[in-house]
Structure 1
Amino acid sequence: MAHRPVRRERRWNGVLLAVGILVILAALAALGTRWAVQRGEIAFPISTPWGPECSVWTGEDTVRLERDQARRATTAAAVAVQGDDAPVEAPDTDDIPDAVMDVLTNGPEDDAGPSLTCRSVKNRDLVLEPDLEPSGLTPRAQNLKDGVEEHFSGLSLGGFVPGGYSTGHGERSAHYEGRALDIFYRPVNEDNRRAGWVMAHWLIAHAPDYEIDVIIFDDRIWSTYYPSLGWRDYEADPDNEILRHLDHVHVDVQRGSDPSEER
């Protein structure tokens, strides 16, 4: 059977169509952000599927950051917030705009909200870790706990127990598999809310380093399931501070695949 060659014009039409769609999506994202700001609404940072992996909404502009810049910026912000109690030294941030460092350190003036997002995808090479560490966490989750404690002092951590949980969390919670930990900021007030966002931003900037899968805090959720959408609204009982994750940052690591389930 003879195959007709694909015309060059068709190939170019396909390329132009794809480029056109990307341009339209970028324009709509920019217009949506400006529209929200003009209406006085909270504008969440977004990260497009192309270009630098991270972006920061400073209140006036979106600033794109490379992953390493986001790592250094969020670490420097964490050090600044902790002051003399910081267990690490602040990295160099001379290449990062002052407006970015200000919003990551102090938060937006009117609302603590999310200022940084990064796109991260699932690591398809990860395998399931069925065995737990003495803490009750999987090795990946234990590595995350160690990393958090290395950069932050005086933390209140929970969501894991030796031997693992069998009840007490929502259905299909990553806590039951030892893949999640909670970082508490109590009581629920503006100071703790801003401190929680410093942590949440640090986690999202370092997501690939610790194979982070989901972060939930302050009625917002970020996950590798939607890598470019950034922070999204998190629906929970409006009268329950715990379920809304107002008093803690929830973070879980990727599960990995079970070789026995593969065909």
Structure 2
Amino acid sequence: MHRFGCVAIVVVLLAALAGGGYWLARELGVPLVSAACLVQVDGEPVGIDREHAMRATTAAVTGDDPGEGVDPAVVRALREGAPDGPGPVLTCRATAPEGLAAEEMTETGLTPRAQTVLDEMNEVFGELSVGGYEPGGISSGHGDDSAHYDGRAIDVFYRPISTEGRREGWLMSQWLVAHAERLALAVVIFDDRIWSTQFSAAGWRPYSITPTGDEAVDEILRHIDHVHVDVIEQS
């Protein structure tokens, strides 16, 4: 291949990785780092393992020492966010745990797995504004076949919508992605983007909806004012 062609592929690949996608490397047959997670640090994608990603995303929230092996620049990148405005700088590949049993909703309105996620979010992030569930369960207010109706989903609100709130939402979203395998997460949605365990190799993908013509409702459906997370039903 001509040198120009090689350079072009590398440039395109780096751009894709910066946006959070692993798929392009597979399509082009270009070797990719084996790390489970990628973080955009000073304009360059940096591969890190899952354990380091979990500790780094927690440290970015709490300010605690992430421990040995975690580059402070990674924590800084997570804390500061994308240089051009709120947005993701981390994505991870994930595999659904095998042998997960189906769970029934408890009296809290959540399944035990979803309750574990909520408990851990509260432990790391402190008091949160949450919704999408209630004791006894819910049956409306979300799309057809929503995980909310099974008690498998939680919404974390960042209102009113602001740059600061969106950065906080991305801290939450990336913490969830880093911990997705451990917590058996299925989907994370925020700020017009979606990440899922099933398609985690694609990173953060655009999240599109059918326009409603109602700006307030549209912002909710686009998940600009809240992070949605749901857990795997069973495997």
Pairwise TM-score range, normalised by the shorter structure: 0.7 to 0.9
Which ranges of structure 2 fall in alignment gaps of 5 or more residues? Answer: 1-7, 26-31
Which ranges of structure 1 fall in alignment gaps of 5 or more residues? Answer: 1-26, 38-42, 81-89, 258-263
Corresponding residue for residue 44 of structure 1: 19
> Within 2, Cα distance between the matches of 1:180 and 1:35?
32
Identify the match of residue 97 of structure 2 among 115, 123, 128. Answer: 123
Corresponding residue for residue 5 of structure 2: none
Are residue 100 (structure 1) and residue 74 (structure 2) matched?
yes
Describe how 1:159-178 pairs up with structure 2 within 5 A.
Answer: 159-178=132-151
Corresponding residue for residue 112 of structure 1: 86
Q: CA deviation at 1:33?
A: 4.8
Are residue 249 (structure 1) and residue 222 (structure 2) matched?
no
CA contact (8 A) 2:95 2:197 kept: yes
Secondary structure, aligned partner of 1:228: helix
> Within 1, Cα distance between the matches of 2:15 and 2:96?
32
CA contact (8 A) 1:217 1:244 kept: yes
Sequence identity (%): 46
Q: CA deviation at 1:134?
A: 1.8
Q: CA deviation at 1:31?
A: 2.8
Identify the match of residue 11 of structure 2 among 31, 42, 54. Answer: 31
- Per the normalisation by structure 2, the TM-score is 0.85
> Within 2, Cα distance between the matches of 1:74 and 1:35?
23
- Answer with 1 or 2: which has the greater Rg: 1
> Within 1, Cα distance between the matches of 2:177 and 2:152?
16
Corresponding residue for residue 79 of structure 1: 62
> Within 2, Cα distance between the matches of 1:91 and 1:146?
22
Secondary structure, aligned partner of 2:156: strand
Identify the match of residue 224 of structure 1 among 176, 181, 197. Answer: 197
Corresponding residue for residue 197 of structure 1: 170
Describe how 1:147-166 pairs up with structure 2 within 5 A.
Answer: 147-166=120-139
Q: What count of residue pairs does the alignment treat as equivalent?
A: 215
Corresponding residue for residue 21 of structure 1: none
Are residue 53 (structure 1) and residue 28 (structure 2) matched?
no
CA contact (8 A) 2:192 2:222 kept: yes
Residues 224 and 133 of structure 1, relative CA distance in 2, 3 Å threshold? same
CA contact (8 A) 2:33 2:47 kept: no
Secondary structure, aligned partner of 1:241: helix
Letter in 1 for 2:79: T
Residues 66 and 162 of structure 1, relative CA distance in 2, 3 Å threshold? same
- Per the normalisation by structure 1, the TM-score is 0.76
Aligned-pair RMSD on alpha carbons?
Answer: 2.1
Residues 161 and 35 of structure 1, relative CA distance in 2, 3 Å threshold? closer
